[in-house]
Amino acid sequence: MSASFLGARAFNHEQHSDAETEYDRLRGLARHEAGLRGSCFDRSRQAYENGDGQRAKELSEEGKEHGRKMDQFNKQASEFIFRENNAEGRVAADTIDLHGQFVEEAEDILEERIKYARQHGQDHLHVIVGKGNHSVNHVQKIKPRVEQVCRDLGLQYTTEDNAGRIYVNLTGGPANMPPHQEHPPQGHGQPHHNQPHHGQPQHGQPHHQQGHQQGHQQESPAEKIAQKLLPIVFKKLEKACCIVM
């Protein structure tokens, strides 16, 4: 997983600096806990080699606690960026944006999103994976994992004209994109204004935006989806200990 600060690069739209700061703060706290965890484990091994079993055990338990805190901060960061990038009005109902996710997070979120789409009769999904412009050597990290998920599930997929997007056919047929279908522009500083397709609900409504929508007092379909998917995803991540700095 990347240890660099992403800031605005993790967002798919023009974002207030407070949101960028919060995202980087959470990832930074996770990195800090990861460093403390590693230090504890190193000292634990040294204590064990020196014959101090009691101290080794204490340091090991301390390291595990730092690991739990690391997981919690990464969970908060993943949920935060998911809600920001998949807020109602920013992506279409047949689209999921994985910007800002670690690879393991993106994989589990996508798997749950595909399950949800199939259960609700969606026949395709557009997955925003990014072009890797901000990765080391400009190598796309999420895209290969998304493609692997599709292969594992027996789904046909194709890279769209925008290399940072993948079209997935959920019916098991060929990955031929429907003709004359338009999608929101995907680029930083470009908010999405497309309306949902086929009357299907959208993903993640950020809490801080709800107050800005006049007359919006009930949970949006996007918020309901986020509440359904994210707890499952993060529970799987914690159980499998997938988050490694």
The whole model's pTM is what? 0.68
Residue 206 in this model has a pLDDT that exceeds 70: no
**Residue 128 contacts residue 98 (beta carbons within 8 Å):** yes
Average confidence score pLDDT of the chain: 75
Q: Average pLDDT of 168-189?
A: 63
pLDDT number for residue 16: 57
Residue 188 in this model has a pLDDT that exceeds 90: no
The CATH class given to the 91-240 domain equals alpha beta
β 95-97/124-128 pair status: parallel
C-alpha distance from residue 241 to each of 71, 104, 134, 165, 201 (Å): 8, 10, 26, 28, 31
- Residue 44 CB-density burial (10 A; 0-12 exposed, 13-18 middle, 19+ buried): buried
- Residue 146 CB-density burial (10 A; 0-12 exposed, 13-18 middle, 19+ buried): buried
- Quickly tell me which residue has 């338009």 as its tokens: 182
Residue 69 in this model has a pLDDT that exceeds 90: yes
Q: Give me the residue spans of the domains in the chain.
A: 7-84, 91-240
pLDDT number for residue 47: 98
Closest CA relative to residue 210, chosen from 197, 201, 223: 223
Max avg pLDDT among 53-57, 90-94, 196-200: 53-57
Model confidence band, residue 240 (pLDDT cutoffs 50, 70, 90): very low
- Residue 189 CB-density burial (10 A; 0-12 exposed, 13-18 middle, 19+ buried): exposed
Closest CA relative to residue 85, chosen from 71, 72, 95, 76: 95
Model confidence band, residue 78 (pLDDT cutoffs 50, 70, 90): very high
Contacts of 27 (CB under 8 A, 6+ apart): 5, 6, 73, 74, 77
Beta bridge partners of 49: none
Task: Kindly report, residue by residue over 124-170, the tens digit of the pLDDT.
Answer: 999 999 875 445 555 678 999 999 999 999 999 999 987 789 999 99
Residue 105 in this model has a pLDDT that exceeds 80: yes
220 vs 211, higher pLDDT: 220
